[in-house]
Amino acid sequence: MTSPLCLRGGRILDPARGIDRSQDLWLDQGRVAGWGEDAPAALRSRPDVEVIDVRGAVVCPGLVDIHVHLREPGQEDRETIETGTLAAARGGFTAVACMPNTDPPLDERPRIEYVVRRAREAGHARVFPIAAVTRGQLGEQLTEIQDLIEAGAVAISDDGKPVRNAEIMRRALELTRDLGVPVIQHAEDPDLKGSGVMHEGWVSTRIGLAGIPDVAESVMVARDALLAEMTGGRVHIAHVSAARSVDILRKAKARGIRITGETAPHYLVLTDEAVETYDPRAKMNPPLRSARDRDALIEGVADGTLDCLATDHAPHTEIDKDGDFDSAPFGIVGLETALGLYIKALVEPKHLTLPELILRMTAKPYEVLGRRGGTLEPGADADVTVFHPSEPWTVRASEFKSKGRNTPFEGWQLPGRVLLTIVGGRIAYREAAEAALR
Amino acid sequence: MPVPHSAEQVREKAEIVDADGLRRAVTRIAHEIIEKNGGAKDLVLVGIRRRGVPLANRIAAKIREFEGIEVPVGALDITLYRDDLQTIAHQPVVGATDIPVAIDGRVVILVDDVLFTGRTARAALDELIDFGRPRAIRLAVIVDRGHREVPIRADYVGKNVPTSRREVIMVKVQEIDHHDGVSIGEMLS
Amino acid sequence: MIGNRKDLLGLEELSAEEIISILDTARTFREVLDRPIPKVPSLRGRTVANIFFEPSTRTRLSFELAEKRLSADTVSFQTSGSSVSKGETLRDTARNIEAMGIHIVVIRHHASGAPHYLARHLDAGVINAGDGAHEHPTQGLLDIFTIRERRGRVAGLKVAILGDVMHSRVARSNIWGLIKLGASVTIAGPPTMMPAEVERFGVAVAKSVEAAIEGADVVNILRIQLERQRGSLYPSLREYARVYGVTRERLRLAKSDVTVMHPGPMNRGVEIAQDVADGEHSVILEQVTNGVAVRMAVLYLLAGRDTPAEAAETPTVEAKKSHDEPTLSPRG
C-alpha cells in the first residue's frame, strides 16, 4: 500500500459535481479521503503523508480515453500494454479502453483475460478491454458477447474495421441492449472508401491522392442511428470526422435515439491541408477533413452532440511510417498530446470552459461505457490528474513514452502540461522534479 | 565569347581602337583570308556567339566586295560545349546554332571578338566537328590578349594586346553595342 | 537553372517564367536532334539514374535517349510493378543512390509524393517522371512545347483536355502549365472521372465532349483505362467510345487547323478514332521527338544549378572572363 497523499494548494475541478475551488485533496488507501478540512482529522495529522505542492496547477479526476490501440498481444513492436499505459499516464490518463484489433483479436474469453492480467502486472493505468463484435473481426459471426463482458470487456467493437453487415449490427445492438454496454462503431462504408488514403476534396485532387468522401462515414452513422432506434440498443460512433456525421448525431439525439459520439484531437486542429507534403504522419482513418468539417466538429463538441473526447492512439513503427503516403499504415499516436491539443483547440478559443473540457474527458467517457466514475467525491477511486492549464511545453516525439513516434505535432507548443498522474492512489507518472511544480 | 559577368564589376579605362581602326582590322583580316586561301572558294565563315556573328558578317561583306563571291555565314553557340557546367546557372538561355551549309571538305573560318584562354575556341572546334569534317578550320579574332590555357592559336589577328589578368578587353560592335571600337578595362573586385 | 531548384517535381510550383525558360532551352535541343551528330557533351561526367517503379517503355526510353544525347552516363532499373508495398524499399533506394554518387534521379512511382520523399532525402536532383495521379511534369512540358511550336503561342488558346482527368497526372501537369501561360482550358469526360472541386484549377468543365471540342485550338486526348477496380466508373469501353471518343465528325467542331494530341499509348477506336490518330491534325509523333528535347532541357538546366560547393568556386572561374555582356541574350 502506498502512503497517503495530500495535493496541496491546487484548483480542484470536479465538473461532474459542478465544483471548482481551490482546496487540498487528500488520498488514502486508493480512494479520495476528503477535501480540505473535510478530510478525516486522523489522516490529516499523520506524519507519513506525502505532501505535494500543486499551487498553480489544476487537480481533476483522472482522464479517461476510451479509444486506444495498445497493440498487445501480437504487435509488440509497435506498443505494449506497459508502454501504452505509461504513455497514457504521461498524458494525464488514469484509464484507457483498448480496442480489440490485436493479433489475435480480442474475440475470445482467454484473450480478454490475458489483457486484464497483463494490465494488472505491468500497466501504469487502468485498462478496460473492448471485445470484438465478430469472430476474427471478419464481420460474419458474432462473438460470445456475454462471456466476453463477464471476462471484463466494457464494450464491443470491430474498430479498425466497421461492422459492415447491417443484420449483424442489428443483432449486436439487440444483444447488448440489456447488458449495459455500447456497440462502438468505426463508421465507414468500405465500398465508398475504396482505395482512398485521405479526405476527398480539393487537396486530394491537387496532390493526386485517392480520396475518401465524407459520406463514407456519414452513411454508416445514419444507418446505425436507425438501427439503434429500432432495436433500442446503444451505439457509440468512434472518431467522428465529418460535419454530416455531427448533423446526423444531433438529429438522432433529438429524436431520443441512444446514440453517442466521440472525436479525436487531430480532427479539431488539422485539416486535409496537413497532407500536402505527403507526410505519412498525417495519415489516419478516418482522414483529416476540410475546414468546414473541423468547425462542425468543434461546434458538435461545444453543444454536447459529441459526448466525449478520445485519442484513437495508434502507434506504428518508424519504418512503417517512413516512405510514401500510399503504402503507409493509417494511424497516429495521441495519448501524450491530447490534453494540450484539446485545451488549445477548445478552451483557448472559448468554445468550452476548462471544467467542461474535463467533464468530456472524465465522467462522460465513463458514461458512454455505462459505468460510474470520473469524479473526486470522497470514496471515489483515487484517480487524479494534475496539470498546468496554460504553461507551454514543446512536443518532442523523442521524449514520448509510447513506442510510437508517429505524430504530426512534432515541435508544436502546447498548453496543458501534465505534472502528476495518480492511479488508485499510486503515482503513475510524475514529471521531472525540477521542471514540475512551482 | 566567354561567359559574362555583370557590367558593374568592370571599370573602363581607355579606348584602344576606334571605329576606323576596327574597320581597317576587319578589312585586313578579309584580305589575309583571301590570300591564304587562294581565293574565296569553299570558304564558310562561322561566328562564335555573340559578337563573332556580326564580325563574321562584316568579313563576308568585305570578301564579297573584293572577290564578288558570297561566302556563307553561320552562327555557333558554344554554351552546350562548355567545360564549366555550373556557370550555366547565370546564363540559362542557350542561343541558336545555325550552320546553313554542309561543312564537309570546306575551309571553315571561326570568327570571334577576343582570344584569351582559348577555351571558347576549343569548345567551338568540338562543336563544329560534330557537324561534319571540314578540310581545314582556321580562327580569326579581332584581339588576341594572351594568357592561353590550351594550345590554341589564331590564324588571323586584328591586334595583339598584352594584358594582365585583372584587365578586360571589350570589343564593341554597332549591331549589339551601338558603337564600334575596342576598349580596355579593369575588374573592380 | 529552373529558378534555383534542385528538383523538378511538378509544374504546380513553377512560375510562368521558369516554364518559358525550359521551353526556350528545349528549342535549342530540338535543333541539336537534327544535327548529323545529335549529341552534345554538356552532361559529360554526370551520372543519371532512371528508376521506374511502374512499368513504362516510352517515357523511360525518352529519358535514356535524352541523357545519352547529353553525354551523361545512365543507369536504369525497373521493378516488376505491383509488389513494392513497403516504404522501406523507397528508403533503401534513397540510401543506395546516395552511396553510388548519382547526380540526378529520374523516378516514376505509383504513389503520389514518392519523388518528393526522394528529393527530401537526397542531395541528388530528382525529376518526377510520373507519380501516382499527381503530376508528370516533363509530359506537361512537352505537350505545351508542342503547342507553342505548332501554333506560335500558348496564351489565349482554347485547349480541351478529354477523358479520365481524375486519374491522370498528365492532365494535371498540362492544366497547371497551360493556365500559368495564359491558355483557357476546358475539360470533359464522364462525371465519375472528374475529381472533386476540379474547377478550382481554373478550368471550365464542359457537359459533353462536343461542348469541349467546339472552337478548340488544341484537343489533348487522355487514354482511358477501365481496370477491374475502376469498373464501376464507366460501364464499358464501347459506351465510352460512343459517348466520348474523338471521331472525325466530333473534331469538325474544333477550329479548322486544330492540333490533336495524345500522351500515348493510344487505344485506337476507343478514346481516339483510327483516322484521327493518323490524320493531318495529329502531332502525336512530334510529341515523341519533342519529348526528348524537353527532357534534355530539363536535365541540362537542373544539372547546371549552383550546388553550394560549386558556388564557392564560381568567382575564380568568372575572374578569367574577359568580356562583359548582359546575361540573357535573346534568341537569334
Alpha-carbon gap, residue C39 to C49, rounded angstroms:
19
Is C59 annotated in the active site? Answer: yes
For residues B100-127, one letter each, b for 16 or more C-beta atoms within 10 angstroms of the residue's C-beta and e for the rest, the string is: eeebeebbbbbbbbbbbbbbbbbbbbeb
- Mutation target among A206, A209, A279 for the C interface, most CBs of C within 10 A: A206
For residue C331, pLDDT beyond 50: no
* Contact (CB<8Å) C301/B93: no
Instruction: Count CB pairs under 8 A between chains B and C.
Output: 133
Q: Check residue C90 and give its pLDDT.
A: 82
Q: Across-strand partners of B187? A: B10
Query: Using DSSP, how many helices (H) and how many strands (E) does chain C show?
Result: 12, 9
CA–CA dist C215, C217 (Å, integer): 7
Per-residue pLDDT of chain B (189 residues), as tens digits, is 444 455 558 899 999 999 999 999 999 999 999 999 999 999 999 999 889 999 999 999 999 999 999 999 999 999 888 876 655 555 556 678 999 999 999 999 999 999 999 999 999 999 999 999 999 999 999 999 999 999 999 999 999 999 999 999 999 999 999 999 999 999 886
* Cα distances (Å, whole numbers) of residue A368 to A67, A271, A306, C151: 12, 27, 11, 67
For residue C320, the distance in angstroms to the closest alpha carbon of chain B comes to: 7
pLDDT at site C80: 63
Residue C313 has pLDDT above 70, yes or no: no
Q: Coil, strand, or helix at residue C63?
A: helix
C198 chain-A contacts, CB cut-off 8 A: 205
Model-level ipTM above the cut of 0.90 = no
- C125 pLDDT band (50/70/90 cuts)? very high
The pair phi, psi for residue B24, each rounded to 5°, is: -65, -40
Query: For residue range C53-96, what is the model confidence (pLDDT) as tens digits?
Result: 888 889 999 999 999 999 999 998 877 644 444 445 787 888 88
β-pair type (A31-35, A50-53):
unpaired
Name all chains with 3 or more CB-CB pairs below 8 Å to chain C: A, B
Using left for φ > 0, alpha for ψ between -120 and 50, and beta otherwise, residue B152 falls in: beta
CA atoms within 13 A on the CB side of C238: 0
Of B4, B92, B130, the CB nearest to C325: B4
3-class SS of residue C246: strand
Is the CB of residue B132 less than 8 Å away from at least one CB of chain C? Answer: yes
Among candidates A200, A204, A322 on the partner chain, residue whose Cβ is nearest the Cβ of C91: A322
CA distance C135 to chain A (A): 8
Q: What is the pLDDT of residue A432?
A: 76
What strands lie across the sheet with B136-144, from one edge to the other? Answer: B73-76, B43-48, B107-115, B136-144, B156-160
A200 touches chain C (CB under 8 A): yes
Contact C300 B9 (CB under 8 A): no
User: For the stretch A375-393, what's the b/e string if a residue is b when 16 or more beta carbons lie within 10 angstroms of its beta carbon?
Assistant: bbeeebbbbbbbbbbeeeb
- B81, C40 in Cβ contact below 8 A? yes
Which is the catalytic residue, given A28, A312, A381, A383?
A312
Percent of chain A having pLDDT more than 90? 97
**Which residues of chain A are modeled with pLDDT < 50?**
434-438
Give the pLDDT score at B6: 53
Q: What cell was used for B68?
A: 564578288
Q: Give me the pLDDT at residue C323, please.
A: 38
Whether the per-residue pLDDT at C231 is higher than 90: the answer is: no
**Which residues, including other chains, have CB under 8 Å from residue A229's CB and lie 6 or more apart?**
A252, A255, A257
User: Cβ atoms within 10 A of the Cβ of C283, count?
Assistant: 19
Considering the entire predicted model, what is its pTM? 0.87
CB pairs under 8 A between A and C: 86
* Alpha-carbon radius of gyration of chain A: 21
**C135 → closest Cβ in A208, A213, A325:** A208
For residue B186, the cross-strand partners are: B11, B167
Q: What is the pLDDT of residue B111?
A: 98
Q: Which of C60, C109, C136, C167 is catalytic?
A: C136
Strand, coil or helix: what is A68? strand
The partner residue sitting opposite C134, judged by closest CB among A201, A207, A213, is A207
3-state secondary structure chain B: CCCCECHHHEEEEEEEECHHHHHHHHHHHHHHHHHHHCCCCCEEEEEECCCHHHHHHHHHHHHHHHHCCCCCEEEECCHHHCCCHHHHHHCCCCCCCECCCCCCCCEEEEEEEEECCCHHHHHHHHHHHCCCCCCEEEEEEEEECCCCCCCCCCCEEEEECCCCCCEEEEEECHHHHCCCEEEEEEECC
Give how far A310 is from chain C: nearest CA, Å.
29
CB A176 within 8 A of CB A154: no
**Torsion angle of C-alpha atoms C2, C7, C13, C14, degrees rounded to 10:** 20
**Residue C126 confidence (pLDDT) above 90:** yes
Torsion of CA A263, A264, A267, A270, to 10 degrees: 160
**Alpha helices, DSSP H, located in C106-226:** 114-121, 137-151, 169-180, 209-213
Percentage of chain C exceeding pLDDT 70: 87
Which pLDDT score, from 0 to 100, does residue B85 have?
60
Give the model confidence (pLDDT) of C184-203 as tens digits: 999 999 999 999 999 999 99
CA distance B135 to C132: 54
Distances (CA, A) of A257 to A248, A360, C158: 11, 20, 55
Encode pLDDT of C18-51 as tens digits: 999 999 999 999 999 999 899 999 999 899 999 9
**Cross-chain residue pair A209–C90, CB shorter than 8 Å:** no
As a whole number, mean pLDDT of residues C286-306 equals 91
| Structure confidence at residue C264 (pLDDT) | 86
Chain C residues within 8 A of A320 when measuring between CB atoms: 86-87
Q: How far is C313 from chain B (nearest CA, A)?
A: 9
Decide if A322 touches C, using CB distance below 8 A: yes
Catalytic residue at C89?
A: no
C108 is catalytic: yes
Give CA–CA dist A114/A112, Å, rounded: 5
Question: Hey, which residues 261-300 in chain A have their CB within 8 Å of chain C?
Answer: 277-278, 280
In this prediction, residue A200 carries a pLDDT of 98
